[in-house]
Structure 1
Amino acid sequence: MPKDGLIIAGGNDRRVIEALAGIEATIELAALAEGFAWSTRSLGIENGCHVGEVLYKGQKVCELRPALPGEHNLINATMALAACRACGVEPQKAADAFATFTGVDRRMMLVGKINGATVVDDYGHHPTEIRATLKALRERYNPKRLICVFQPHQHSRTRFLLDDFANSFAAADETIVPDIYFVRDSETERQRVSADDLVKRISEQGHRAQHLPKFDEIIAHLRTEARGGDLIVTMGAGNVWEIGRDLVG
Structure 2
Amino acid sequence: MSDTATSGFISHLIELRDRLIRALASILVIFLALVYFANDIYAFVANPLVLSLPENTTMIATDVTAPFFAPFKLTLFISLFLAIPFILHQVWGFLAPGLYKHEKRMLMPILLSSVVLFYAGIAFCYYVVMPIILGFLTAAGPSMMTLSPDISSYLAFILKLFFAFGVAFEIPVAIMLLCWSGVATTQGLKEKRPYIVVGAFVVAMFLTPPDVLSQTLLALPMLLLFEIGIILAGIYSKKSQQQEINNE
Q: Same fold (TM over 0.5)?
A: no
Name whichever structure is richer in helix by fraction. Answer: 2
From the CA coordinates, give the structure whose radius of gyration is larger. 2
Between 1 and 2, higher relative CO (CA 8 Å, sep ≥ 6) is seen in 2
Report the TM-score range of the alignment, normalised by the length of the smaller protein: under 0.3
Q: TM-score, normalised by structure 2?
A: 0.25
